[in-house]
Amino acid sequence: MVDLTIVFLGTSSAVPTKERGLSCIAIRRGPELMVFDAGEGAQRNLLNAKVGVNRETKIFVTHMHGDHSIGLLGILQSMAMYDRSRPVRVFGPKGIVEFVKRNREILGFGLTYELIVKEVKAGIIVRTDEYAIKACQGMHTTINYAYLLEEFPRGGVFYPEKAVKLGIPKERWGILQHGKKIKIKGKTFKPSDVMGHQRPSRKIGISGDTRPTEKLVKFFRGADLLIFDSTFSEKHSELAIERYHSTAREAAQLAKKAQVKKLVLTHFSSRYKDVSSLVEEAREVHPDTIAADDMMRINVPYPDEVQASR
């Protein structure tokens, strides 16, 4: 069981307000930290969130507009000021490598850790033993990548009595629990010999700035939670089209088509002091919708935990 918590560090679009900083989302998954986008000043709320500055960290930038990328420099420098020692991996669209390199040269700041920066393309960009992170190009005024954190299915419940009955030594149980076969006295044992069916894991989607597209419907299909660009209300839908953003209702329509369980609206235009009307528009289409606020936390349980609690 791995805890997964999402912390919204910035939820405004284009310019910050007194209540909202610029785009930044942190996901703390077990001992690991993942940061998606880094608007100007993002490091302040990252430090205030107390998610840890020396954890295994990956940072993902959706696109190279300032309200999503300028804060990356502050995060990197702040981590060095706190004497971080672990490597940091940064992923983003074309231009991210040059952006980091040139700004480090101009600003002249050193780092206390190894920094690896990579440009991404659509497809799997990170793969570990437990999850993959995928990228899909959206539709914006510049290249924008949506991201999907998709955990691999968990092994079924382990039945020690079955292992004992089969004569499998206790010190070999862990190998089967990690999904691998073992051989004892010429006989092969599979995980399914001592475990139940695989259990579902979690899928978290983050759109970046985009118009809704059928490609994104397919990309986010079945997500447990989707965080989507909701810059405008339907009243300003012409601005959403003109500036390649989405309305709250359009975000809900995409979430419904993609059979997303929970939708979180974010990236609100500063013209909306109160976003409750945007939530109402979205809930008419997708009832399980909420609006993100700065420093809001969401704990994401496993799907079978949700079912068990009902």
- The tally of domains found in the chain comes to 2
| In the chain, % of residues over pLDDT 90 | 90
Residues 26, 170: one domain?
no
> pLDDT tens digit string along 175-234?
998 778 999 999 999 998 999 888 889 999 999 999 999 999 999 999 999 999 999 999
Q: Tokens 């070999």 label which residue?
A: 172
Mean pLDDT of 102-111: 95
DSSP helix, strand, coil percent of the chain (3-state; round to 5): 30, 30, 40
Expressed as residue numbers, the domain containing 167 is 160-193
The CATH number linked to 140 is 3.60.15.10
Run of H or E residues at 7: strand 4-10
- The H or E element that residue 79 is part of is helix 71-81
Distance CA 26, CA 231 (A): 20
Tell me how far apart the alpha carbons of residues 128 and 178 are, in angstroms, rounded to a whole number.
Answer: 14
- Per-residue pLDDT, 305: 78
Concatenate the DSSP letters of all residues of 226-242 into one string: EEEE--B-GGGHHHHHH
Residues 12 and 75 in one domain: yes
Both 85 and 132 in a single domain? yes
Task: Classify 8 as helix, strand or coil.
Answer: strand
Please, which pLDDT band fits residue 157 given cuts at 50, 70 and 90? Answer: confident
**Does residue 126 share a domain with residue 148?**
yes
Cα distances (Å, whole numbers) of residue 143 to 62, 92, 104, 209 = 8, 10, 23, 10
Q: What's the pLDDT tens digit per position in 33-63? A: 999 999 999 999 999 999 988 999 999 999 9
Output the pLDDT for position 154.
85
Round to whole Å and give the CA distance between 247 and 275.
12
The DSSP string of 236-288 is GHHHHHHHT--BHHHHHHHHHHTT-SEEEEE-B-TT-S--HHHHHHHHTT-SS
Task: Please check whether residues 66 and 94 belong to one and the same domain.
Answer: yes
Q: Do both 118 and 14 map to the same domain? A: yes
> How sure is the predictor about 310, in pLDDT bands with cuts at 50, 70 and 90?
very low
Residues 272 and 184 in one domain: no
Residue with tokens 């118009």: 211
DSSP codes joined into one string, 11-61: -BSSS--SS--BSEEEEEETTEEEEE---TTHHHHHHHTT--SSSEEEEE-
Under the banding of pLDDT at 50, 70 and 90, the label for residue 168 is: very high
3-state secondary structure of 143: coil
Same domain assignment for residues 174 and 252: no
When the pLDDT of each residue in the chain is averaged and rounded to a whole number, the result is: 95
In the predicted model, what is the mean pLDDT of residues 115-132?
Answer: 97
Same domain assignment for residues 187 and 253: no
What does the alpha-carbon distance between residue 70 and residue 41 come to, in Å, rounded to a whole number?
A: 8
Q: Which of 37, 67, 209, 229 is catalytic?
A: 67
pLDDT in tens, 55-74: 999 999 999 999 999 999 99
Q: What pLDDT sits at residue 64?
A: 98
Is residue 3 classed exposed, middle or buried when 0-12, 13-18 and 19+ CB atoms within 10 A define those classes? Answer: exposed
Residue 16: partners with Cβ closer than 8 Å, 6 or more residues away? 10, 22, 39, 40, 41, 270
Q: Are 56 and 200 in contact (CB under 8 A)?
A: no
Q: Are residues 142 and 168 in the same domain?
A: no
Catalytic, 224? Answer no
Q: How far apart are CA 300 and CA 92, in angstroms?
A: 25
Q: Do 8 and 146 lie in a common domain?
A: yes
